[in-house]
């Protein structure tokens, strides 16, 4: 008689530690952790921290009947969290190590603007040394990246993504609140020179502001052999003045690109949790992708968790509930208790966001505070 087959209750055991992975109530295995290292940012992007007169004027011009009282008529500094409330490097390393032991493989360091966090190179070195971290990436606005590019590469940073919403200096300043286009372009070149590959560049597309640059951004990606991502405008601004009419749907972005370029679809069959639909140019030079969370949600395969700079764990970018991981750690929880708490949080992960639904509520915190 053949022996009975033994079916392990957790078939996706992490190869490094053989500990049970974190699986949510919908059967999704968590593999991706975004860690914000600061809530501070030196940019005032219109879609995140629209605190400039240019931002206020844009919204007034586009939607005169809509109140823009949440926007200042002059630059006002956001209220940042005091240093004592921000996770220490030891705490971040502990969280990442524990997460990797339970199946997380990809770590992305975010902000705010992560380059503003003092000692960032040391943190990257510590995270890259954790067994089981297969992909260590960072998202930056690029303003300060050039000075630390080589050091970050040597510390173990594998991939880098930049924000670049416009190639026109005046429009760049209108969108970001800063005159920094030349610095960002220089950082992109420096990243390539240091061996980061692929170098990804992201643009948030807003109707009437930078959507006319869609083809130019694609040409930029081709000429510099970049991986470029167009992102739909999401309701994550601190002014809470997001309007659906300002969203350029992903299908429209694709249509505009296809009218000028010969694009070949790239399958995501090997990575169904990929947020972008991707295309290569027919000659194989450069790649573009479209991230359309508003009009074409990709929640069904979401395997991501987020840790905010002040130690909250979020199961969705648009969660209205946060769980205070920092309080558990500073309250004396050991690793077993901490892992059990995180497992409970993961189990309650939302099936998807509610953008476009009557009951949608915009998160109280902006993208700068949440981490991308």
Task: Tell me the per-residue pLDDT of 57-91, one tens digit each, with 9 for 90 and over.
Answer: 665 565 544 444 444 444 455 677 889 999 999 99
Q: Which domains does the chain have, with CATH numbers?
A: 32-370 (3.20.20.70)
Longest dimension (CA), the chain: 81
Contact 45, 177 (CB under 8 A): yes
With contact defined as beta carbons under 8 Å apart, do 101 and 132 qualify?
Answer: yes
pLDDT of residue 338: 96
Please tell me which residue, 51 or 105, carries the higher pLDDT value. 105
DSSP string covering 33-44: EEEE--S--S--
- Burial class of residue 104 (count of CB atoms within 10 Å of its CB; 0-12, 13-18, 19+): buried
State the pTM of this model.
Answer: 0.86
Is the pLDDT assigned to residue 231 strictly greater than 60?
yes
Cβ contact 46:206 at 8 Å: yes
Confidence of residue 4 (pLDDT cuts 50, 70, 90): very low
pLDDT over 80 at 270, yes or no: no
């Amino acid at each position: 008689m053949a022996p009975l087959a033994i079916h392990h209750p957790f078939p996706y055991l992490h190869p490094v530690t053989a500990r049970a992975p974190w699986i949510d109530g919908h059967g999704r295995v968590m593999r991706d952790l975004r860690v914000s290292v600061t809530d501070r940012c030196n940019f005032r992007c219109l879609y995140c921290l629209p605190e400039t007169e240019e931002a206020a004027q844009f919204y007034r011009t586009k939607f005169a009947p809509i109140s823009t009282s949440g926007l200042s008529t002059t630059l006002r500094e956001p209220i940042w969290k005091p240093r004592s409330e921000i996770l220490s490097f030891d705490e971040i390393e502990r969280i990442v190590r524990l997460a990797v032991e339970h199946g997380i493989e990809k770590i992305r360091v975010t902000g705010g603007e992560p380059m503003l966090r003092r000692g960032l190179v040391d943190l990257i070195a510590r995270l890259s040394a954790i067994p089981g971290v297969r992909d260590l990436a960072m998202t930056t606005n690029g303003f300060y990246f050039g000075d630390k590019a080589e050091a970050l590469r040597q510390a173990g940073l594998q991939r880098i993504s930049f924000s670049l919403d416009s190639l026109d200096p005046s429009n760049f300043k209108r969108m970001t609140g800063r005159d920094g286009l030349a610095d960002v372009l220089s950082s992109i070149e420096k990243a390539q020179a240091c061996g980061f590959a692929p170098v990804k560049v992201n643009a948030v597309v807003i109707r009437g502001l930078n959507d006319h640059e869609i083809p130019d951004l694609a040409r930029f990606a081709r000429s510099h052999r970049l991986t470029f991502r167009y992102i739909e405008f999401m309701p994550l601004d601190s002014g809470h003045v997001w309007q659906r009419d300002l969203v350029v749907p992903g299908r429209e972005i694709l249509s505009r690109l296809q009218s000028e370029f010969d694009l070949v679809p790239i399958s995501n069959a090997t990575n169904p949790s990929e947020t972008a639909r991707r295309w290569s140019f027919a000659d194989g030079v450069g790649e573009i992708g479209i991230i359309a969370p508003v009009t074409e949600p990709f929640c069904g395969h979401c395997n991501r968790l987020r840790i905010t700079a002040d130690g909250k764990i979020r199961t969705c970018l648009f969660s209205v509930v946060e769980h205070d991981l920092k309080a558990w750690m500073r309250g004396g929880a050991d690793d077993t208790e901490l892992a059990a708490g995180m497992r409970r949080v993961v189990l309650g992960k939302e099936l998807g966001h509610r953008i476009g639904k009557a009951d949608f509520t915009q998160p109280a915190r902006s993208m700068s505070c949440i981490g991308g």
